[in-house]
Amino acid sequence: MRIHILGVCGTFMGGLAVMAKNLGHTVSGSDAGVYPPMSTQLEAEGIVLMDGYGAENLRDKPDLVIIGNALSRGNVEVEAVLNQGIPYTSGAQWLAEHVLQGRWVLAIAGTHGKTTTSSMLAWVLEFAGLKPGFLIGGVPLNFAISARLGESDFFVIEADEYDTAFFDKRSKFVHYRPKTCVLNNLEFDHADIFDNLDAIKRQFHHLVRTVPGHGLLILPSDNKNLDDVLAMGSWTDAENVSMNSSSKAAWMACNVTPGETEFDIYYQGELAGHVNWALTGKHNVFNALAAIAAAHHAGVSASVAIEALAKFQNVKRRMEVRSVINSITIYDDFAHHPTAIASTLAGLRGKVGAQRIIAVLEPRSNTMKMGVHKETLLPSLTDADYSFIYLPDDVRWDISVTNKQAIDIHKNMGGLVDSLLKILVPGDHVLFMSNGSFGGIHQLVEKHLREVTKGG
């Protein structure tokens, strides 16, 4: 079959393209911006890429067009698909029908931690010799790829609550029909498509409705929003995870060290093992508990899962150390919600102690740009010694009006870089946080630091 993919350079759609190619289809794709590293990866797989959208991209008459959820009516290529009567579907539906059908799907849902937990779980299953397939919205460093078909019935999927396509406004995760389902957490996000928190809870309950009775739900023991979801109805056994030793959760993390680099795992009140790993932050302890519980449901012992986590290399752009220059450590992180920002900074603080942390944040998500989190954003930066915030023109609110915290706010990238460089000293930890490229600020700062070091 000849398949053409609109929005092919996104992580999710690019992963679909690779799997479709591996299934024997002839695959092409178009996107508004075709550039490395995704373009290089796709071209290496023999996938023909077209830069920009247009009716001419359909000249080879594909048998099926897969349309990404970033595409909407009015896009010239979408209109051409409709006008020419070419069969089309969404990425989530194609995945469900052609990859997930008949497999043991392990889905990771939640406002935060989906990518990291999916990567942990895929690695644990791999370490246990189960050779799972997976599709993850990032690049797990243990695999260096974001998607593969796998060689077993197991398939790990990052289950996103964002809508499926312009013609299917259900959340993507309702297509996946998991047997093992992790609900990591639930907060208000995606204000561009959800009117309120109740609307998100309703979508999460749609996911819960798809989990079979012989499956398993895994969720924290103290998340009221998820409790509300299950109160709408649940037909599946659930296991709770917790960091509270007084809870009755099936899975618990106890004796957690500062920075969360070590902790004990208990299952049903019995010590299952000790985690010693490279990650930090309480959020990652919860991610680990969820991954261990999900792998256990798939038949992997807790001891094997714990051994695997000691070798887990995290995900690209999740507290990734980009460089250490003149004893200044540069990190790149995807955090874009106040809860994740606070946990990430707290974890780093626990690891580095009294050394200075400089947080540099771009509020880039649609929800951030709309000002939904303006009251909680600055408090989330408390563990940083200095904070810089980049507010480009399309941010619709003025953070300086609503808060009095001493934070350096910039609307000009050059001015931000200059101000940041003036305060850096050896021993500092600089954490860049954005769910986009952040205008290449990482490279600008690294280039300057290397030049200073070379000159010295």
Domain of residue 24 covers 2-90
- The answer for 7, left when phi > 0, alpha when psi is -120 to 50, beta otherwise, is left
What is d(CA 250, CA 213) in angstroms, rounded to the nearest whole number? Answer: 19
What is d(CA 6, CA 237) in angstroms, rounded to the nearest whole number? Answer: 39
What is d(CA 309, CA 119) in angstroms, rounded to the nearest whole number? Answer: 11
What is d(CA 140, CA 147) in angstroms, rounded to the nearest whole number? Answer: 10
CB 442 within 8 A of CB 362: no
Q: Is the pLDDT of residue 161 over 80?
A: yes
Q: Same domain, yes or no, for 83 and 119?
A: no
Which pLDDT does position 1 carry in this prediction?
95
Residue 358 sits in a domain of what CATH number? 3.90.190.20
Q: Same domain, yes or no, for 338 and 277?
A: no
What is d(CA 125, CA 143) in angstroms, rounded to the nearest whole number? Answer: 12
Q: Same domain, yes or no, for 300 and 192?
A: yes
Which pLDDT does position 168 carry in this prediction?
96
Single out the residue of 135, 52, 137, 144 nearest to residue 98, CA to CA. Answer: 135
Task: Write down the pTM of the prediction.
Answer: 0.85
Single out the residue of 100, 106, 104, 103 nearest to residue 292, CA to CA. Answer: 106
pLDDT (tens digit, 9 = 90+) per residue, 146-155? 899 999 999 9
Which pLDDT does position 26 carry in this prediction?
96
What is d(CA 138, CA 57) in angstroms, rounded to the nearest whole number? Answer: 27
Letter for the amino acid at 429?
H
Is the pLDDT higher at 272 or at 378? 272
pLDDT (tens digit, 9 = 90+) per residue, 301-358? 999 999 999 999 887 777 788 899 989 999 998 876 788 888 888 888 988 899 999 9
Q: Same domain, yes or no, for 305 and 325?
A: no
Q: Same domain, yes or no, for 326 and 217?
A: no
Q: Is the pLDDT of residue 32 over 80?
A: yes
Beta-carbon contacts of residue 455 (< 8 Å; ≥ 6 apart): none
Task: State the pLDDT confidence band at 138, using cuts at 50, 70 and 90.
Answer: confident
Percentage above 70 pLDDT, the chain: 92
Q: Indicate whether 83 belongs to any domain.
A: yes
CB 269 within 8 A of CB 254: no
Q: Same domain, yes or no, for 81 and 141?
A: no
Q: Same domain, yes or no, for 249 and 158?
A: yes
Is the pLDDT higher at 451 or at 74? 74
Q: Is the pLDDT of residue 455 over 60?
A: no
Which pLDDT does position 339 carry in this prediction?
82
Letter for the amino acid at 307?
E
Is the pLDDT higher at 175 or at 450? 175
CB 154 within 8 A of CB 102: no
Q: Same domain, yes or no, for 236 and 168?
A: yes
Q: Same domain, yes or no, for 78 and 153?
A: no
Letter for the amino acid at 367?
T
Q: What does the mean pLDDT of the chain come to?
A: 90
Which pLDDT does position 366 carry in this prediction?
58
Residue 16 sits in a domain of what CATH number? 3.40.50.720
pLDDT (tens digit, 9 = 90+) per residue, 397-439? 666 655 555 688 888 888 888 989 999 999 999 999 887 777 7
Domain count, the chain: 3
Q: Indicate whether 212 belongs to any domain.
A: yes
Percentage above 90 pLDDT, the chain: 62
Q: Indicate whether 303 belongs to any domain.
A: yes
Beta-carbon contacts of residue 231 (< 8 Å; ≥ 6 apart): none
CB 419 within 8 A of CB 410: yes
Residue 280 sits in a domain of what CATH number? 3.40.1190.10
Beta-carbon contacts of residue 37 (< 8 Å; ≥ 6 apart): none
What is d(CA 47, CA 45) in angstroms, rounded to the nearest whole number? Answer: 6
Q: Indicate whether 30 belongs to any domain.
A: yes
Q: Which of 61, 90, 119 is at the close of a domain?
A: 90
Q: Is the pLDDT of residue 31 over 90?
A: yes
Dihedral pair phi/psi, residue 410, rounded to 5°: -130, 145
Q: Is the pLDDT of residue 456 over 80?
A: no
Q: Which of 90, 121, 141 is at the close of a domain?
A: 90
